[in-house]
A and B are shown apart, each in its own frame.
Chain A
């Protein structure tokens, strides 16, 4: 599998520090929800840096969408989140990753649990689920610091309005919006019991976010009775991507 050239066709701010990048990739073979791409940047002196980003969009011809969070000390993220403009070219390799995927032929309940930017591949799953009109019950528990950190809030809202669509529960860890029923706090056993499909429903669970978040949530899910074989995980580095 080799590097392809992708053209930036659109950029959309998501939060104060994150934005969506829409790419057009000639010859894109399509992808499964949950897969990612590697992005390679090369400086004039030949120095190159590679980072991985989950695809946020469902399969859509030659179009793919990524989301990049700018890290204060990042090497690649400031360039992608800030300097990149429409018309620029990026080298990408992919789609890759065949384990952390949701495919339309899956009919069992789906439980998505996102920590911060871990929502990106899970959004692709929710979008894919809606695009094929899947009747599989689907829920998302989305843990964020505060309301201003929510990525793709309006897309999640739209998906939840669909009949039989995504049920979204937000868990705020630092500051909860006025009117919240729960005080701010991390995902714990009682929140899982309230907001996620119970083990008896045998959902396939997808947990994505920083390593520490994933370790805690995956342990909570298996301790609650979910079969470890039905809990799939993807850990993000501090870059907010898979590196």
Chain B
């Protein structure tokens, strides 16, 4: 640790015993991104689930919006240590999206417009744990926060909730995504503080 800077405290950071270890509460919604913000017009947007046998299930924007959606309130935990509680989203549950998808695959690789990827076990996408969200806090999801639609998997660190989601590839092989291949933990459970490799 460096020398203490007299009188410096940084942004007000509330430590709350109900937060995962090492996290602090924030009231704003920081925008983090590994690259330029993609701009995808609705008539060009597509979401696809590709199974391990090569079967592709596709939705365009109107078809996607016609699916039954859910309103959920969830807590967000970013690996950069901020947490934002009680955020409201509207989206389509992954359970709805995989209803007609035949698969025995264990692993998923999530792809975003712009090239970002993240990986997670298929079971972490199911049973009410994940959504493709297109509305945040009562408004259309802004591009800076991942609009038109992003993955939302709140039980894992927020880097798994891929912004600008365009598809999920199901596989028998676990392939590390953008951050998982550069030092970040392959699974990323905030409650076990799984931030980096080997933790």
Contact between A and B in the complex (any CB pair below 8 Å) = yes
Residues of A within 8 A of B (CB): 3, 5, 40-44, 46-49, 75, 79, 83, 88-91
Min CB–CB distance B163 → chain A (angstroms): 21
Chain B residues within 8 Å of chain A by Cβ, number: 12
Contact indicator B11/A5 (Cβ below 8 Å): no
What are 14 A-B pairs with beta-carbon distances under 8 A?
A41-B5, A42-B4, A42-B8, A43-B5, A44-B4, A46-B1, A47-B10, A47-B13, A48-B2, A75-B10, A83-B8, A89-B3, A89-B5, A91-B5
Is B63 an interface residue when CB atoms closer than 8 A count as contact? no
What residues on A are CB-neighbors of B8 within 8 Å?
A: 41-43, 79, 83
What residues on A are CB-neighbors of B5 within 8 Å?
A: 41-43, 79, 88-91
Contact indicator A88/B3 (Cβ below 8 Å): no
Could you tell me the distance between the alpha carbons of A3 and B5 in the complex, rounded to whole angstroms? 14
Min CB–CB distance B140 → chain A (angstroms): 25
Contact indicator B9/A3 (Cβ below 8 Å): no
Given contacts A43-B4, A46-B1, A89-B3, 13 further A-B contacts (CB under 8 A): A3-B2, A42-B2, A42-B4, A43-B8, A43-B9, A47-B10, A49-B10, A75-B10, A75-B11, A79-B5, A79-B8, A91-B2, A91-B5
Closest to A74 in B: B11
Contact indicator A40/B6 (Cβ below 8 Å): no
Min CB–CB distance A102 → chain B (angstroms): 31
Is B41 an interface residue when CB atoms closer than 8 A count as contact? no
Could you tell me the distance between the alpha carbons of A89 and B4 in the complex, rounded to whole angstroms? 9
Could you tell me the distance between the alpha carbons of A75 and B13 in the complex, rounded to whole angstroms? 12
Contact indicator B7/A91 (Cβ below 8 Å): no
Could you tell me the distance between the alpha carbons of A79 and B9 in the complex, rounded to whole angstroms? 9
Min CB–CB distance A194 → chain B (angstroms): 34
What residues on A are CB-neighbors of B2 within 8 Å?
A: 3, 40, 42, 48, 91
Q: A3-B2, A42-B2 are in contact. Are A79 and B7 (CB under 8 A)?
A: yes
Contact indicator B10/A43 (Cβ below 8 Å): yes
What residues on A are CB-neighbors of B4 within 8 Å?
A: 42-44
Closest to B11 in A: A75
What residues on B are CB-neighbors of A40 within 8 Å?
A: 2
Closest to A91 in B: B2
Q: Name B7's contact: one of A47, A48, A83, A90 (CB within 8 Å).
A: A83
Contact indicator B3/A5 (Cβ below 8 Å): yes
Contact indicator A41/B1 (Cβ below 8 Å): no
Within 8 A of A (CB), among B149-181: none
Could you tell me the distance between the alpha carbons of A90 and B5 in the complex, rounded to whole angstroms? 7
Q: Contact string, B5-33, partner A, CB cutoff 8 A, digits 1/0?
A: 11111110100000000000000000000
What residues on B are CB-neighbors of A41 within 8 Å?
A: 5, 8, 10
Min CB–CB distance A87 → chain B (angstroms): 9
Min CB–CB distance A212 → chain B (angstroms): 14
Which of the listed residues B5, B9, B11, B13 has the most CB atoms from chain A within 10 Å of its own CB?
Answer: B5
